[in-house]
Structure 1
C-alpha cells in the first residue's frame, strides 16, 4: 500500500464531548455543501466511521487496493471487467475528512491539506442543531404487474437452464415506497446498526446523482488487513430466521433443500476455481454453515488466506477482479448469466449487486485495512422515494412463485426498519 502524495499525514486529531458535532452534523454539512460522504459500520463492531470527500464530482478508478489512498469505493454491478485496461467505473470517495464514533465519543482526523477543510468546519459550526424527525408515514408505490412480470422472467430463466444455456442466474426486481417527507439517513443508519449487528451497514451520499444508497449486507466479498490476512465468503440459500409463530430459529434447526445446497456449492466452487487460476493452494475453508443475517438465514462458507505466508500481497486486488460479480448475484457461467440479466431485467441495477466498502482505512487504534462487501439488501433514496432491490438465485429446479416470495423476504430486511417509529 503506497501513500497518496495528495494525502498528508494526519494533520490533527480532535476529541469532543457528546455535546459537540455528531455524525448527523457532519453528514448534513456534507449534503449542504454538495460533498459526497460515506457512513459505515463493520459486522460485529460498535465503532462507526464517516468520511467526507472534497471532490464534488467523484473520480472513477480502476481498483488497485494496494495503490489506492484511504477512502471508500462503490462499484456498479455492470463492471464486469475493471482491470487497468478497462473503462473505470468504480466511484472512489477519498477520506479527506475521516471521523470515527465509538462508545467513548468520537475522533476526527483531517487528512486533506486543502482550504476546503477549514470551510467545511466553519459550515459545521454554523449548521443548525440537528433534530431527529418525528415518525414518518410510509406509503407503498405498488406496481400491479410486478409479480406477474417477475414470475414470467423466472420461468424464462428456468427454461433456458433446462436447455443447458447456463447453470444459475440471479434475477432481481424493485419495490418502491414513499415517505411523507425526506427521511434522516443517519437515523435510518443507526436503526439498521441496532437491528442487524452482524451485517455491514452503510449509507453513501452521491450528490452528483441525487442519491443516497443504504444497505445492510451480510456478504463479504474481499477483506485484507494490515497483517495480510485475506478473507472472502460464499453465500447462497435463503430462509426466514423465524418460524411460523415468529419465534427465532436456532441455526442448527435450519433445514436446507437440495436446490439451496447445490446453489451454495456453486458459489464456493467458483471461489476455489479462482484460487486455481492463480495457482493458490494454501487456503482455509470453513463451512458450509448456517449464517443468521437479521430476519434471514443463509448458507455460507468462509475462505481465509495468509497472504504473507504465500507471498501474495496483491491477492485482494487479484481476487476482487476475478470474483466480481459473484455467482451469488450474477450466475454461472458468469458471462452467459450476465447477458441474460441484461436482456431480461427491466431496471438498471446501478449499484445493487456491485461492491462497496472502506479501502485502506484505519484509526488511531488500528492499522489500515480494506473491507469490501457485495452490495445487497440495499435501497436507493431519492428525496422522499426509496427504491428497494432484491434478487433470487435461480437454478433449473426453481419454482417461480417461491422465488418471488424470496425477494419479498429480502425486501423486508430494510422495510422492517423503514416502518419503525
Structure 2
C-alpha cells in the first residue's frame, strides 16, 4: 500500500534501504518493496491497437491491486529502447513517497574504493564506433535522415562483487540534482543510474518536459570549463542537434495540449561531468485523464536517444550497432492510478550483477559531427558511472 513516511521531519531517511525499486527526483521520490504483479506487455511502436493492449494491461493491473487492498497502487519500472521488446514494469506490494532532500542530507560523502578490473571491453571498439559515425554522416547526404544517436557498451568484470547500495549512494552524492533509479531486471541483475533528462512529468493537467541534446565535457580548470560551456551555447552544430529534438517534442505534444510553452532558445545546464543544452517545456493537457505513462509512450523515443526521422534512425541503429541496447535509452519512472507520474530517459546508467557490469553511453550524430569528437563524448558520459565504481577513466577508455 502507499503509506506516509514517518521520517520526513526526523532526517533518518537513508539510501536505498534495500528497496527493490528506487526512483528519486527533486519533485517527488519513491521506494518500493515486493512485487504484487509484473507488466511485461510490449508498448508497441507503430500500432495503435497494440499500444492500447499495453495501456489496458496497466489499467487491469491497477484494478487488481485495488481489489487486493492496495489503495493507491503505483506502477514503477522501465520500458526498453525497442518498444517491441517486453517492458519491465511492476506494481510493488509496498510503496512510499519521500523528500529526496532528507535522503541526501543523511548520506555521508566518501570516495569510491578503487575497483580492481579483471577485464574491460568496449563494444564496438574505438575504430568501429568511428566508422559507424562516418557511415551515419554519409547517410545524411543520401537520405531524409537528419540525426542518428549511436551508442556503445562497456563490459566490465571486476575482481570482486560490488554493492549496488554503495554505487547508488555515490551516484546520488556525486549527482544530487539528477534522477536516480534502481530497477530489478532478471535474477541478480539490476539497472541503476543517474539520468539528467526528464522525458515527462504529469501532475493533474500540468506537464513538464526537459529535453537535452548537445553536450560537452566539463573541465577541471574553471576558466576553461566556462569557455567550454559558452562554446557549446553558441555551437551551430549542437544548436541544430538540439532544435531537432525540441521540434519533434513540440509536434508530439501539441495535439494533446491546451497550452504549450517552449522557449525559442536553449539554456545551458551542467552535471558534474557534462554541459548540456536544455529546453524546459511546460504545458496544460486538454484531457486530465491522459496518464504520464501514456504521454511518455507517445514521446519515446525522442530524437535525443534515437534520431530523426525516427523510423530512418531506428533502421540505421539496427544496421550499425552490434549490441542490443535493452533498457538503455528507454525510459524509467513511475505512474499512479490517477495518471500522475514522472518518466526520465534511461541514460548515465548501467546494469550490475555481482562482479559483472555493463555501462552505456551514446552521442547524437548530425551532418557536422566529427567521429573523434563523438567517441570522446561517449567517454565523458561514461565518466558518471565509472566514478561511482571507483574506476579511472583512463583505465577504462
TM-score, length basis structure 2:
0.79
Residues 96-115 of structure 1 show CA distances to partners (whole Å, capped at 9, x for unaligned) of 12245667689xxxxxxxxx
Distance 1:134 1:347, change over 3 A: closer
Aligned position for 1:217? 195
Distance 1:244 1:93, change over 3 A: same
**Alpha-carbon deviation of 1:51?**
0.6
Structure 2 CA distance for aligned equivalents of residues 306 and 404 of structure 1: 39
| 1:179 aligned to which of 121, 138, 158 | 158
Instruction: Please say if 1:356 is aligned against 2:332.
Output: yes
Structure 1 CA distance for aligned equivalents of residues 29 and 355 of structure 2: 25
Partner-residue secondary structure (3-state), 1:142: strand
Distance 1:179 1:151, change over 3 A: same
Aligned pairs, number? 359
Structure 1 CA distance for aligned equivalents of residues 124 and 40 of structure 2: 36
Instruction: Please say if 1:40 is aligned against 2:44.
Output: no
Aligned position for 2:378? 407
Q: Does the 8 Å CA contact 1:66/1:317 hold for their aligned counterparts? A: no
Which segments of 5 or more consecutive residues in structure 1 lack a partner in the other structure? 1-7, 28-36, 81-87, 107-131, 362-366
Structure 2 CA distance for aligned equivalents of residues 314 and 368 of structure 1: 7
Instruction: Please say if 1:71 is aligned against 2:75.
Output: yes
| Structure-to-structure mapping, 1:114-133, within 5 angstroms | none
Residues 94-140 of structure 1 show CA distances to partners (whole Å, capped at 9, x for unaligned) of 1312245667689xxxxxxxxxxxxxxxxxxxxxxxxx999352315
Distance 1:143 1:189, change over 3 A: closer
Residues 193-231 of structure 1 show CA distances to partners (whole Å, capped at 9, x for unaligned) of 11112210112123x343111111111111112x43111
| 1:58 aligned to which of 38, 42, 56 | 38
Aligned position for 2:260? 283
Distance 1:305 1:152, change over 3 A: same
Structure 1 CA distance for aligned equivalents of residues 153 and 184 of structure 2: 20
Q: Relative to total residues, which structure has the larger helix share, 1 or 2?
A: 2
**Alpha-carbon deviation of 1:170?**
0.4
- Compute the RMSD of aligned alpha carbons: 3.5
Q: Does the 8 Å CA contact 1:136/1:180 hold for their aligned counterparts? A: no
Residues 290-341 of structure 1 show CA distances to partners (whole Å, capped at 9, x for unaligned) of 111221011111111123xx44431635532321111100011101111111
Partner-residue secondary structure (3-state), 2:266: strand
**Alpha-carbon deviation of 1:23?**
5.0
Partner-residue secondary structure (3-state), 2:253: helix
Bigger Cα Rg: 1
Which segments of 5 or more consecutive residues in structure 2 lack a partner in the other structure? 42-53, 63-72, 105-109, 393-397
Partner-residue secondary structure (3-state), 1:283: strand
